[in-house]
Amino acid sequence: HDSSSTTHLFLVPSLTQKSKPIPHSHTQNSMASLSLFSLLSFFSLLTLSSSSTDTTTTISLSPSTKTPYANPWQRLNHLASSSTTRAHHLKHPHNSTSLTKTPLFPHSYGGYSISLSFGTPPQTLSFIMDTGSSLVWFPCTSHYVCTNCNFPTINPANISTFRPKLSSSAKILGCKNPKCGLLFGPDVRSRCPDCDKKSGNCTKTCPAYTIQYGSGSTSGILISETLDFPDKAVNDFGVGCSILSARQPSGIAGFGRGPMSLPSQMGLKKFSYCLVSHRFDDTPESSDLVLVGGSDSGDDKTGGLSYTPFLKNKLTSNSAFQEYYYVSLRKITVGGEHVKIPYSFLVPGTDGNGGTIVDSGTTLTFMERGAFDLVAREFEKQMANYSRAADVENLSGLRPCFDISAEKSVLFPELVFHFKGGGKMALPLADYFTFLSDSVICMTIVTDNVIRPDTSEGPSIILGNYQQQNFYLEYDLKNERLGFRKQICK
């Protein structure tokens, strides 16, 4: 193979300390039932009333760095399992409901968080940034309950919650509020049967929501609040006030394409981030999440970026698919060799199945079995001179894994995603292989165990945040395209 399509790794001690994956929060758990009555009974305790120039905001975006597992196989097995669970959710979702910068922090459960301030006076909370969903919600009231939330660095009793009764701008939304309709879509009519357009005196509260995630779920009611940034305030922001969740270590800031997402409600033209690497120390390292609002004309391309258009899933019957950032992946190469993945896996068909999405809420990239096997076999073929570590594959849930204890240097084939528009995303080695010990290295792309002749429901390839590390990604919402370039994130 061409030397430009391989990475030569010399096995010196410092290289065995490469960034290793950290566990993702998503595992399957059932959500405790929550009636509308029990939700509203909590809110009886509150005192609430019913209810063109560019601007840029920058927020810190960073992962938490503690790892809960002493042994790397257990850690990787958890991470692989949680990524496939998240993928299952994205493929089979339940229908649910100016320049600003903010820090973006990595977390031990595999996600990245930001801090946002809501209310008057502002109350600051942590939110997982999720491009695969569209509701923004926070743990709410002193009665908030989170089941199965015993994460290594999180005590459920100490989860910070928003207190609506301490905010003068908090309002419970009614059935006739447009944001209630945006959350529930056409289903809002059946949920608010006495509040049609002809009803002028409807006083019903917007119904309680239950949102399902790959890791669990959350339930609450929709309220209107002020979203506060240092240089601006966004009034009447629709946000979920959740009082019962399962396996949700914090609130979630939905950055998807739905009308209730943070970008949609803020009217952003674009947002961008560069994810710092997942690590195992406890440093508060972060990078910036940049939100660009305002209005202007022109193409407005950022220098040095390759662009590929966003696609729309044509299956309108599943609203969740409309929230995903589908991209036009044309082919995948391994060591310069074209992996002949059927086109139906790369781009969504008229039935809504197949295709590739970019998702910050998934940790390890997921490929449906029919695509994954082709990629894995190409790596196995080009690395056939190295011994397979089958025992580690069984323990970690990752494959292929190679035992390189007898090698002085290892030649790794380069993994490249080729997109419509000519952009090539050549992954750094640390984005698709990781050391599980000084002598074993494994590919960090996962699949499920179901063998199908063709694509199944939902996206076939999900580009997770582990493979997005040290790439600058720009979601150009105005021009419906994804821009990217490789860079060291800090």
Please list the active-site residues: 130, 359
Residue type (1 letter), 368? E
149: tokens are 């939330």
CB hemisphere CA count around 3 (13 angstroms): 2
* Contact yes or no for 180/188 (Cβ under 8 A): yes
Cα–Cα distance list, 322 to 209, 348, 366, 459 (Å): 19, 12, 19, 11
188: tokens are 């809002």
What is the rounded (10 degree) CA torsion for 403, 405, 408, 413? 10
Instruction: Please give the Cα distance from 58 to 264 (Å, whole number).
Output: 17
CA-angle at 88, arms to 87 and 91, nearest 5°: 85
Alpha-carbon dihedral sign for residues 62, 65, 71, 72: positive
Per-residue DSSP letter, 68: S
* Contact yes or no for 421/440 (Cβ under 8 A): no
Residues in a beta bridge with 418 = 331, 424
Instruction: Please give the Cα distance from 281 to 340 (Å, whole number).
Output: 40
Instruction: Please give the Cα distance from 250 to 261 (Å, whole number).
Output: 17
- DSSP letters along 356-413, please? EEE-TT-SSEEE-HHHHHHHHHHHHHHTTTSEE-HHHHHHHS---EEE-TT-SEEEEE
For tokens 């000084």, the residue is 438
- DSSP letters along 424-442, please? EEE--GGGTEEESSSSEEE
Instruction: Please give the Cα distance from 322 to 314 (Å, whole number).
Output: 8
Instruction: Please give the Cα distance from 391 to 378 (Å, whole number).
Output: 21
Asked if residue 68 has a cis previous peptide bond (ω within 30° of 0), the answer is no
Cα–Cα distance list, 71 to 21, 26, 395, 430, 437 (Å): 12, 19, 10, 19, 10
Alpha-carbon dihedral sign for residues 107, 110, 114, 115: negative
